Amino acid sequence: MENVNIKINGRDYSVPANSTVLEACRAANIDIPTLCYMKDINEIGACRLCLVEVKGARGPVAACVYPVNEGMEVLTNTPAIRKARKNNLQLVLSNHEKKCLTCIRSTSCELQKLCQEYGVDEDYFEGESNHYDIDDSSVAIIRDNNKCILCRRCVAACKEMQGIGVIGANDRGFDTHIASPFEVKLAETSCINCGQCIVACPVGALYERDDTDKVFDAIADPTKHVAICAAPSVRATIGECFGYEPGTDTEGKMVAGMKALGFDGVYNMNLTADLTIMEEAYEFLDRFQNGGKLPLITSCSPGWIKYCEHYFPEFTDNLSSCKSPQQMFGALYKTFYAQKHGIDPKDIFFVSVIPCTAKKFEVGRDGQCAAGEGIYDVDVAITTRELARMMQTAGIDFKNLGDEKFDEPFELGSGAGAIFGATGGVMEAALRTAAEVVLGKPLEKLEFEDVRGIEGVKKATYKLGDVEVRVAVASGTANAKKLLNSVKSGETQVDFIEIMACPGGCVNGGGQPTQPAVVRNNVDLRSVRAAVLYNADKAMDLRKSHENSAVKALYDEYFEKPNSHKAHEILHTHYVKRGLY
CATH number of the structural domain spanning residue 20:
3.10.20.740
- How confident is the model at residue 124, as a pLDDT? 87
Q: Note whether residue 93 is domain-resident.
A: no
Last residue of a domain, one of 208, 229, 246: 208
Q: What are phi and psi of 51, to 5 degrees?
A: -60, 140
- Pair 226, 181 in one domain: no
- Residue span of the structural domain in which 159 resides: 125-208
- Pair 292, 358 in one domain: yes
Tens-digit pLDDT profile for the chain (581 aa)? 699 999 999 999 999 999 999 999 999 999 999 999 999 999 999 999 999 999 999 999 999 999 999 999 999 999 999 999 999 999 999 999 999 999 999 999 999 999 999 999 888 888 889 999 999 999 999 999 999 999 999 999 999 999 999 999 999 999 999 999 999 999 999 999 999 999 999 999 999 999 999 999 999 999 999 999 999 999 999 999 999 999 999 999 999 999 999 999 999 999 999 999 999 999 999 999 999 999 999 999 999 999 999 999 999 999 999 999 999 999 999 999 999 999 999 999 999 999 999 999 999 999 999 999 999 999 999 999 999 999 999 999 999 999 999 999 999 999 999 999 999 999 999 999 999 999 999 999 999 999 999 999 999 999 988 889 999 999 999 999 999 999 999 999 999 999 999 999 999 999 999 999 999 999 999 999 999 999 999 999 999 999 999 999 999 999 999 999 999 999 999 999 997 76
Q: Note whether residue 83 is domain-resident.
A: no
- Pair 283, 256 in one domain: yes
Last residue of a domain, one of 171, 186, 208: 208
CATH number of the structural domain spanning residue 269:
3.40.50.1780
- How confident is the model at residue 466, as a pLDDT? 87
- Pair 148, 228 in one domain: no
Whether the CA torsion 160, 162, 164, 166 is positive or negative: it is negative
- Pair 294, 146 in one domain: no
DSSP-assigned letter for residue 405: -
Q: Total structural domains in the chain?
A: 3
- Pair 410, 476 in one domain: yes
- Pair 194, 242 in one domain: no
CATH number of the structural domain spanning residue 158:
3.30.70.20
CB 166 within 8 A of CB 186: yes
Q: Report the alpha-carbon distance of residue 404 to residue 387 in Å, rounded.
A: 17
Q: How far is CA 40 from CA 354, 480, 511, in A?
A: 28, 19, 22
CB 170 within 8 A of CB 177: yes
On average, the pLDDT of the chain sits at 96
- How confident is the model at residue 331, as a pLDDT? 98
- Pair 300, 374 in one domain: yes
Sequence-distant (6+) residues with CB within 8 A of 395 are none
Q: Note whether residue 246 is domain-resident.
A: yes
